[in-house]
């Protein structure tokens, strides 16, 4: 890994060849470097630098547009390689690993943008990554959230030390892109997923600056697959993470392998729980593609020059590791794709949690007190940065599945009425499907919710829905133009994450099927009374009703529940109510 000293301060622009007139030499330094890492540039600088890198290194860099933001800004990526493979097709033909490094998904966290430009220039001109660019393709997105970047201000990140002004966390539509990888609402995310689908990066590095408590640790690196996903790829992920952490430590950093967020907000004594992020987040998403997702968080309380230097070190470290190990990772990922295509009938974890097992780790913090505030009336933590101390931190890092579902033997069927919406999502994620050519009756599984709860508050513009229930077998008519999504495909884990109702970021849980759980038809009470009296003439019905009255006091005391008991047994009851429209099948429709 490159040394920390190489990025200790602003680096001069390359001088070019002796015969090249100085006026024509593109300047590859950033506003951040020129200001001594006091400021960061506006988005116009990203556009200019993208073109300047390509002009200065035409044999090694392409500047590409991969989308347009809602406010009309071009989404820029730099493609860099000395292999000559500067297109997705050329990279695949050469068998080269692709590394995608992304900055500015939260545009107030500008570390990745400035560090990425610095690392790329040093890799191209100073050999900072050795011969790495000859053995891989780097796709660098300096600012993912370009509209948010231009909501520029001095206090957009009040608990972050520098730069003087920076962008905003969310997009112009107030969407948090790092909650959008699976549902893919934002035009920016849809553009990113198309870029990912084109290049199929073996590793995706998402550069952030985290806020929160004050402590000495300066960077954390979370990676999946490691606790989750394909076991062989997870073993490679563990080796990669440990190598990155060791390299950062050798350069003077104090890296962490977990996200440093306390279990009780603002209370260091509560400890930390590790985990696997759901696929709304970048590193939770890429494990479902059998690729590495790497979340990098510098500590926002460190000064900006320190954060840029450390992020630059991480980027160069990933370049070196991808050049060294990338072809092996590609083989491991291909084998993982094959194993995913054979998940039919297997138990597949869809969500994860830390157990109650606690161990104590040394954590480099500062002296702190927790005292009553006469402002808020609450207990408030105050840190003394002049007094470093080692905390004995409770850590829960034994991670186990919390939701496991048996994969269908054949796949999923999406009725024609919902096929357009679902097909658009599947297309973005590269999940294969076909159209059913004719109507037929099939043996299928349907999921009926025994309990469901709509969230009281909107999340990312959605009313989320949680369900409890089970798949049950039966015959059902399947109409023409329904979708069949086979489980036998490399993106099987992605298909399950989208379509299994109890997956934490499924389309159902994000509220895309809420209508199926809304009552649309009713029986008036006076009608229900007459219907009930007629049904009670059946001795079996009367016996069941009286048993329910005796066993369930809440039911007995509720006129609504009593009348609905009869309504649910009447032929007018909506048989589709609280039934998830997507079906599972053991066979492929022919």
CA distance 289 to 490: 8
CATH code at 97? 3.40.630.10
The answer as to whether 312 is a domain residue is yes
* Structure confidence at residue 5 (pLDDT): 35
* Structure confidence at residue 218 (pLDDT): 97
Check if the beta carbon of residue 506 is closer than 8 Å to that of residue 353.
no
The pLDDT confidence band at residue 15, using thresholds 50, 70 and 90, is very low
CA distance 276 to 233: 15
**94 and 136 housed in the same domain:** yes
* Structure confidence at residue 22 (pLDDT): 43
* Structure confidence at residue 136 (pLDDT): 98
The pLDDT confidence band at residue 25, using thresholds 50, 70 and 90, is low
The answer as to whether 10 is a domain residue is no
The answer as to whether 11 is a domain residue is no
The more confident residue out of 234 and 575 is 234
The answer as to whether 21 is a domain residue is no
**204 and 80 housed in the same domain:** yes
Q: What is the arithmetic mean of pLDDT over 320-329?
A: 98
Q: What is the arithmetic mean of pLDDT over 366-370?
A: 96
**116 and 191 housed in the same domain:** yes
Q: Tell me the average pLDDT of the chain.
A: 94
The pLDDT confidence band at residue 7, using thresholds 50, 70 and 90, is very low
Q: What is the arithmetic mean of pLDDT over 451-461?
A: 97
Structure tokens at 115: 């560090």
The answer as to whether 530 is a domain residue is yes
CA distance 147 to 175: 11
The answer as to whether 510 is a domain residue is yes
Range of the domain at 472: 402-519+576-585
CA distance 569 to 475: 20
CA dist 274 to 155, 268, 348, 373, Å?
A: 30, 15, 20, 30
**472 and 563 housed in the same domain:** no
**395 and 419 housed in the same domain:** no
Sole residue written with tokens 């050049």:
323
Specify the DSSP element, H or E, that contains 331.
helix 304-340
The answer as to whether 3 is a domain residue is no
**417 and 541 housed in the same domain:** no
CA distance 497 to 485: 13
**431 and 296 housed in the same domain:** no
The answer as to whether 357 is a domain residue is no
**540 and 428 housed in the same domain:** no
Which of 401, 429, 454 finishes a domain?
401
**49 and 177 housed in the same domain:** yes
Q: What is the arithmetic mean of pLDDT over 549-565?
A: 96
| Number of domains comprising the chain | 4
Q: Report whether pLDDT(12) > 70.
A: no
CA distance 465 to 501: 10
CA distance 434 to 164: 52
* Structure confidence at residue 212 (pLDDT): 77
**423 and 331 housed in the same domain:** no
pLDDT, tens digit (0-9, with 9 covering 90-100), for 56-113 = 999 999 999 999 999 999 999 999 999 999 999 999 999 999 999 999 999 999 999 9
**549 and 486 housed in the same domain:** no
Structure tokens at 118: 């610095």
Of the chain, the percentage scoring pLDDT greater than 90 comes to 94
pLDDT, tens digit (0-9, with 9 covering 90-100), for 106-143 = 999 999 999 999 999 999 999 999 999 999 999 999 99
**373 and 318 housed in the same domain:** no
> Which residue from 178, 290, 135, 159 is spatially nearest to 228, judged by alpha carbons?
290
pLDDT, tens digit (0-9, with 9 covering 90-100), for 215-247 = 999 999 999 999 999 999 999 999 999 999 999
């Amino acid at each position: 890994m490159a040394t920390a000293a190489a990025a200790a301060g602003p680096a001069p622009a390359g001088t070019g060849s002796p015969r090249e007139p100085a006026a024509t030499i593109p300047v590859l330094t950033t506003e951040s470097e020129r200001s001594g890492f006091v400021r960061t540039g506006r988005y116009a600088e990203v556009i200019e630098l993208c073109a300047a890198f390509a002009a200065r290194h035409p044999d090694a860099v392409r500047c590409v547009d991969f989308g347009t933001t809602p406010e009309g800004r071009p989404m820029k990526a730099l493609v860099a390689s000395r292999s000559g493979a500067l297109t997705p097709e050329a990279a695949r033909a050469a068998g080269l690993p692709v590394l995608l490094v992304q900055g500015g998904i939260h545009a107030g966290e500008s570390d990745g943008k400035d560090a990425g430009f610095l690392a790329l220039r040093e890799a191209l001109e100073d050999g900072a990554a050795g011969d790495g660019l000859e053995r891989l393709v780097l796709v660098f997105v300096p600012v993912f959230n370009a509209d948010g970047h231009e909501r520029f201000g001095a206090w957009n990140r009040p608990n972050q030390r520098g730069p003087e002004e920076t962008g905003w966390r969310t997009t112009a539509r107030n969407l948090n892109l790092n909650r959008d990888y699976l549902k893919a609402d934002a035009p920016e995310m849809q553009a990113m997923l198309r870029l990912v689908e084109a290049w199929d990066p073996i590793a995706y590095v998402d550069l952030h600056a985290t806020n929160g408590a004050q402590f000495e640790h300066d960077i954390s690196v979370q990676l999946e697959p490691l606790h989750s996903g394909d076991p062989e790829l997870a073993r490679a992920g563990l080796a990669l993470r440990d190598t990155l952490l060791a390299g950062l430590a050798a350069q003077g950093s104090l890296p962490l392998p977990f996200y440093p967020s306390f279990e009780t907000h603002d209370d260091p004594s509560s400890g930390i729980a590790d985990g696997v992020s759901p696929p709304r987040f970048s590193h939770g998403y890429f494990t479902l593609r059998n690729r590495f997702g790497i979340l990098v968080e510098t500590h926002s309380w460190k000064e900006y020059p320190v954060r840029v230097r450390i992020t630059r070190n991480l980027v160069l470290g990933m370049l070196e590791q991808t050049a060294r190990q990338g072809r092996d990772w590609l083989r491991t990922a291909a084998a993982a794709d094959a194993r995913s295509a054979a998940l039919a009938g297997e138990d597949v974890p869809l969500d994860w949690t830390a157990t109650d097992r606690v161990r104590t780790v040394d954590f480099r913090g500062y002296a702190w007190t927790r005292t009553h505030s006469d402002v808020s009336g609450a207990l408030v933590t105050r840190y003394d940065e002049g007094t470093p101390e080692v905390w004995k931190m409770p850590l829960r890092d034994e991670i186990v599945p919390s939701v496991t579902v048996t994969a269908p033997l054949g796949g999923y069927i999406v009725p024609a009425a919902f096929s357009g919406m679902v097909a658009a999502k599947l297309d973005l994620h590269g999940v294969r499907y076909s159209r059913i050519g004719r109507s037929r009756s099939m043996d299928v599984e349907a999921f009926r919710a025994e309990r469901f709860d709509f969230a009281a508050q909107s999340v990312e513009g959605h009313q989320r829905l949680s369900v409890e229930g089970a798949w049950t077998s039966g015959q059902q008519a399947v109409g023409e133009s329904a979708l069949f999504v086979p489980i036998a495909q490399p993106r099987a884990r992605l298909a399950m994450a989208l379509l299994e109702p109890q997956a934490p970021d499924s389309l159902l849980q994000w509220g895309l099927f809420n209508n199926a759980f809304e009552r649309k038809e009713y029986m008036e009470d006076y009608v229900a009374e007459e219907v009930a009296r007629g049904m009670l003439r059946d001795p079996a019905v009367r016996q069941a009703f009286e048993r329910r009255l005796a066993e369930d006091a809440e039911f007995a005391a509720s006129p609504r529940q009593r009348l609905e008991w009869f309504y649910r047994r009447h032929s007018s009851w909506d048989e589709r109510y609280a039934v998830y429209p997507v079906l599972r099948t053991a066979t492929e429709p022919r």
